[in-house]
């Protein structure tokens, strides 16, 4: 039996499309009440993983558990506790906005009408409008309303904000923040994206995958603490630096930029021994960590 | 602008900061500062309390609206408020929200001084590296103490 508090548990998941290794031996655990980021480039295997969680794809090997259940054997139990916003949303074109929501609600045990009317107002969607005439952004908003109103325990978002304008993205993220953990039950969010910066404040923990392989799994705060960019300007031509903790060193004239993967304090201490004009240190954002981890992977 | 408690060593590029205007208080988050987001909030609310931006008995913003405004996880706001509560800065009244407390630290005087010592040491180290000498440092400390006192008195 799985730990009660883990909502998603993936162990050694592999899935191939012919010769292509879409996901290779991926393991991750998402605890209840967390907002988990799943980052990767296009084609890294994010959607394949999510589809395995929903039993839209069968894993070739490995196990997938959602709420401790096997999505293949307990498909209805699992799906009734999940809401999913896919990267590409499609509705029946002849239905109106209100009709679509009515249709979605008919599959759910619970549907919060107050949230529905609040969000329709917030997004300025006309309930009488036909789904076929909605813009891409409006379709995503409609899908989000459909996902939030049943107040699911787990919200799965697959590239939800790609192709949306900045204002719609911002509203989308605020709605996700507002929607989860509002009741007594702990709600969990699992979001896959390559547009990382806008989810920065939301993410508790994340996994980065590349070509089906896991690169890093870390707590967001710990990651920002570990990856630092140090800029230093020497008064004279800089000495040859040998820094154990440096991931990357760039030098232009008297200025040096150091990318540290942990141990930044030691690097700073080492640098302070020289005559310096300027010394700054800042954390990498999650997006920069994502880029750095891909550099790291190609170097190997 | 709303300064953080630490001496800024970093130049903050605007694209990585999120600000939130509240009545009498401006909260600002910077993901690149190297400090966990919840601690940034703790520091800024403590600052507001020390400088009269927030007065005893006044409510703090609700967790959900603040989280939406700053676009951060609600857990982060909740963690900041829990930390502030354990430090005796705020109190939670069930069903009503969080309020700034009268300034009574739950710690004994030696503990309070010891807690401050660490911060003072950090400032001393920073001053050393910035070549700020003893007189200038002490003058700066005095000036800041006066500044905060003045700010609190300005408020009705």
**Ordered domains of chain B (ranges, CATH):** 1-105 (1.10.10.10), 107-156 (no CATH)
> Between chains, do A201 and B64 touch, taking CB under 8 Å as contact?
no
CA B140 to CA A299: how far, in whole Å?
Answer: 48
From chain B, the residues in CB contact with A285 under 8 A are 16, 31-32
Q: What's the pTM value of the predicted model, to 2 decimals? A: 0.80
pLDDT of B129 above 70: yes
Model ipTM? 0.71
Residue B7 above 70 pLDDT?
A: no
- Residue B20, pLDDT above cutoff 60: no
Nearest CA among A151, A80, A161, A153 for reference residue A115: A151
The helix (run of H) or strand (run of E) holding residue A226 is: helix A220-226
Q: Taking 50 as the threshold, does the pLDDT of residue B11 lie above it?
A: no
Q: What is the mean pLDDT of residues B44-56?
A: 86
- Which DSSP helix (H) or strand (E) runs through A257? strand A255-261
| Residue B17 confidence (pLDDT) | 60
Q: Looking at residue A76, what is its pLDDT? A: 92
The CA distance from A283 to the nearest CA of chain B, in Å, is 4
Q: Are B75 and A228 inside 8 Å of each other by CB?
A: no
| Contact residues, chain A, for B73 at CB < 8 Å | 35, 177, 201-204
DSSP string covering B96-155 = TEEEEPPS--SS-HHHHHHHHHHHHHHHHHHHHHTT--HHHHHHHHHHHHHHHHHHHHH-
| Predicted pLDDT at B156 | 55
Sort A295 into a burial class: Cβ within 10 Å, 0-12 / 13-18 / 19+: exposed
Give the end-to-end CA distance of chain B in Å, rounded to a whole number.
22
The backbone torsions φ and ψ at residue A283, rounded to the nearest 5 degrees and listed phi first, read -75, 150
Tokens 């966990």 sit at which residue? B36
For A140, the token pair is 């995503």
Q: Report d(CA A267, CA A260) in Å as an integer.
A: 8
> What are the structure tokens assigned to B112, written together?
């309070």
CB contact under 8 A, B72 and A283: no
Phi and psi angles of residue A56, each rounded to the nearest 5 degrees, phi first: -90, -15
Q: Which of B11, B33, B70 sits opposite A283 (nearest CB)?
A: B33
How far apart, in whole angstroms, are the C-alpha atoms of residue B138 and residue B106? 28
pLDDT band for B14, please (50, 70, 90 cuts): very low
- Among all chains, which residue has been given the structure tokens 């883990």? A6
To the nearest whole angstrom, how far is the Cα of B122 from the nearest Cα of chain A?
14
Mean pLDDT of the residues in chain B: 80
| Token representation of residue A230 | 């140090």
Q: Per residue of chain A (300 residues), what is the pLDDT tens digit?
A: 444 579 999 999 999 998 888 999 999 999 988 899 999 988 899 999 999 999 999 999 999 999 999 999 999 999 999 999 988 888 999 999 999 999 999 999 999 999 899 999 989 999 999 999 999 889 999 999 999 999 899 999 998 888 788 888 888 888 888 876 655 567 899 999 988 888 898 899 999 999 999 999 999 989 998 999 999 888 888 777 777 777 888 888 888 888 888 888 888 888 888 888 888 889 999 999 998 888 777 765
**Cα nearest neighbour of B10 on chain A:** A280
Q: Which of B1, B101, B87, B110 is nearest to B38 (CA)?
A: B87
Q: What is the helix (H) or strand (E) element at residue A175, kind and residue range? A: helix A166-179
């Amino acid at each position: 039996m799985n730990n009660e508090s883990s909502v998603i548990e993936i162990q050694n998941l592999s899935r191939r499309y012919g010769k292509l290794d879409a996901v290779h031996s991926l393991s991750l655990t998402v605890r209840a009440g967390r907002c988990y980021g799943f980052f990767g480039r296009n084609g890294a295997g994010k959607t394949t993983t999510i589809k395995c969680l929903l039993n839209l794809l069968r894993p070739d090997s490995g196990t997938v558990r959602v709420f401790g259940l096997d999505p293949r054997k307990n498909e209805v139990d699992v799906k009734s506790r999940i809401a999913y916003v896919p990267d590409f949303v499609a509705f029946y074109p002849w239905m109106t906005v209100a009709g679509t929501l009515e249709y979605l609600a008919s599959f759910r045990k619970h549907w919060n009408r107050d949230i529905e009317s609040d969000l329709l107002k917030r997004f300025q969607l006309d309930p009488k409008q036909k789904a076929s005439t909605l813009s891409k952004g409006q379709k995503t908003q409609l899908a989000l309303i459909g996902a939030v109103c049943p107040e699911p325990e787990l919200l799965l978002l697959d590239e939800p904000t790609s192709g949306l304008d900045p204002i719609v993205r911002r509203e989308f993220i605020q709605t996700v923040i507002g929607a989860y953990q509002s009741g007594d039950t702990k709600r969990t969010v699992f979001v896959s994206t390559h547009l990382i910066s806008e989810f920065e404040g939301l993410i508790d923990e994340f996994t980065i995958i590349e070509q089906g392989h896991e690169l890093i799994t870390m707590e967001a705060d710990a990651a920002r603490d570990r990856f630092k960019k140090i800029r230093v300007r020497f008064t004279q031509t800089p000495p040859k630096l040998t820094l154990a903790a440096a991931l990357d060193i760039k030098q232009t004239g008297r200025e040096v930029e150091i990318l540290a993967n942990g141990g930044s304090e030691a690097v700073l201490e080492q640098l302070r021994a020289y005559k310096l004009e300027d010394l700054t240190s800042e954390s990498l954002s999650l997006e920069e960590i994502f880029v750095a981890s891909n550099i790291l992977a190609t170097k190997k | 602008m709303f300064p953080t408690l630490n001496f800024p060593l970093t130049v903050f590029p605007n694209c990585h900061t999120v600000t939130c205007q509240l009545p009498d208080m401006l909260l600002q988050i910077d993901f690149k500062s190297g400090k966990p987001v919840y601690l940034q909030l703790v520091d800024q609310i403590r600052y507001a309390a020390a400088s009269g931006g927030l007065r005893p008995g006044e409510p703090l913003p609700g967790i959900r609206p603040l989280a939406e405004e700053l676009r951060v996880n609600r857990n982060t706001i909740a963690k900041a408020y829990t930390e502030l509560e354990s430090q005796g800065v705020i109190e939670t009244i069930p069903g009503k929200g969080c309020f700034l407390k009268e300034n009574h630290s739950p710690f004994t005087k030696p503990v309070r001084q010891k807690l401050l010592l660490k911060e003072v040491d950090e400032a001393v180290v920073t001053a050393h590296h910035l070549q700020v000498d003893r007189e200038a440092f002490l003058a700066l400390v005095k000036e800041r103490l006066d500044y905060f006192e003045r700010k609190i008195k300005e408020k009705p």
